[in-house]
A = this chain, B = another copy of it.
Amino acid sequence: MASKITAPTIDDVARQAGVSISTVSRVLNRTVPVSDEIVAKVQAAMRDLRYTPRAAARTLATARTNTLGLVLAELVGDFFSPLLHGIESVAVQNGYDLLISTAGRRGPHNQLPHSFDKHNADGLLIFAGCLNDDGVRDIHSLGVPMVLLHQMPPDNLPIPCVTIENKAATRALVEHLIVRHQRTRILLLTGEPGNEDGYWREMGYREALERYNLPTRAELIAPGHFDRRIAQATMERILRERISFDAVFTGDDEAAVGVYAALRAASLRIPEDVAVVGFDDQSLAQVLQPALTTVHVPIKQVGIQATHSLIQLLQGKQPEALTLLPTTMILRSSCGC
């Protein structure tokens, strides 16, 4: 009468198949040869009972969770979806589950999100902006395998890092503005302080100006923070202050949206009055009018690479210390092309 409340365990399967649990475990894991006849019996029993091994029991016995932990700053933005997509695909391919967690908004922390205290994942994928240097050092000293995304490890710690080529691409983009479109007063919208992508993009910008002997004017460098509202506010201020400029490197595509809005409100034409270029090639870059000239970032590839590196680490191999994924300039119409 009492319906079977509890799910079947390995014991049930063993009993039904008339073998020992060791044998069931062996056909489960194919770790040691088992005679065909017994394999058949056991598999039949498993099917009958709709048996599924308890992951926790396995984990306890093997000390492996088969789970990868992904730590993100915040689940917003357009690039986050392809990134996750890349990570997920590699994870499942290799038999790993994916545990997701956010580090909470206000800035890099020195602690992992509580849930991750280490024993929930075999390894960690840590995105920039989640953990500060102290945090990274700390987790690393605990011996937790991890790879950093868009963030370099402190102290040259041997932690694999995968990120993208920012500087050269920005430089090429800015030089394009200078050479091809004769722009000389190019506004730079910076990323948040501490953001490495933003740092390198600024370096690329400076190098381009230097190369063509253009002065780096302080009033032409202002915060954009990769955020459309902040970028818009900054642009409005700059227009209000009548600072003169003929082009904007917005830092990223998201900020470009704010720039477009501010320029449109001021009745300035893109690209005739002001050339605008972004970075990331998010899907909205093609939607903007005029279509945004930007730099394509292989963000899905970042996820794929990082996950591969982490899995290599877990297999005891030595992954590339630094993977720098190439970016490519995408010329559309907002620069004047």
Instruction: Give the interface of A toward B (CB within 8 A).
Output: 7, 50, 52-57, 59-60, 65, 67, 74-78, 80-82, 84-85, 88, 92, 97-102, 113-115, 117-120, 142, 257, 260, 283-284, 287-289
Q: In chain B, what residue has the closest Cβ to A290?
A: B289
CB proximity of A128 to chain B, nearest CB, Å: 17
Contact B88 A77 (CB under 8 A): no
Q: List 11 A-B contacts (CB under 8 A).
A: A52-B117, A52-B118, A53-B117, A53-B119, A56-B57, A56-B119, A76-B85, A77-B81, A88-B101, A97-B99, A283-B284
**A78 partner residues in chain B, CB cutoff 8 A:** 78, 81, 283
Known: A80-B81, A120-B97. A142 touches B289 (CB 8 A): no
Given contacts A88-B75, A88-B100, contact A287 B257 (CB under 8 A): yes
Q: By the criterion CB–CB under 8 Å, are B101 and A98 in contact?
A: yes
Q: Are A54 and B85 in contact (CB under 8 A)?
A: no
A120 touches B81 (CB 8 A): no
The closest CB in chain B to the CB of A78 belongs to B78
Asked whether A142 and B65 contact (CB < 8 A) given A92-B113, A120-B55, the answer is no
With known contacts A76-B85, A113-B92, A60–B54 Cβ distance under 8 A: yes
B60 close to A57 (CB less than 8 A): yes
**7 extra interchain contacts, Cβ-Cβ under 8 A, other than A55-B120, A98-B101?**
A56-B57, A56-B59, A75-B88, A88-B100, A283-B284, A287-B288, A289-B289
How far is the CB of A54 from the nearest CB of chain B, in Å? 5
> Are A75's CB and B85's CB within 8 A?
yes
Q: Provide the residues of chain B in CB contact with A257, threshold 8 Å.
A: 287
Q: Considering the complex, give the chain B residue whose CB is closest to the CB of A56.
A: B59
- Which one of B97, B102, B115, B287 lies within 8 Å of A115 (CB-CB)? B97
Closest to A85 in B: B75
A51 and chain B: residue at smallest CB distance: B117
Give the chain B neighbours of A99 by CB distance below 8 A.
Answer: 67, 97-100
A60 to B56, CA, bound (A): 6
A253 vs chain B, min Cβ distance (A): 10
| A60 touches which of B60, B67, B82, B97 (Cβ 8 Å) | B60
- From residue A310, how far is it (CB to closest CB) to chain B in Å? 16
Alpha-carbon gap, A119 to B156, bound state (A): 40
With known contacts A59-B56, A257-B287, A118–B81 Cβ distance under 8 A: no
Contact present for A81 and B88 (CB under 8 Å): no
User: In the complex, which residues of chain B have a beta carbon less than 8 angstroms from the beta carbon of A118?
Assistant: 7, 52
How far is A258 from B75 in the complex, measured between Cα atoms in Å? 26
Partner of A81, one of B7, B76, B260, B287: B76
Chain B residues near A80 (CB-CB < 8 A): 81
CA distance A113 to B82 in the complex (A): 19
Rounded to whole angstroms, the CA-CA distance of A12 and B75 in the bound complex is 38
**Which B residues are CB-close (under 8 A) to A56?**
55-57, 59-60, 65, 119
B98 touching A100, Cβ below 8 Å: yes
A284 to B287, CA, bound (A): 8
Would A92 and B75 be within 8 Å (CB), given that A60-B56, A97-B120, A100-B100 are in contact?
Answer: no
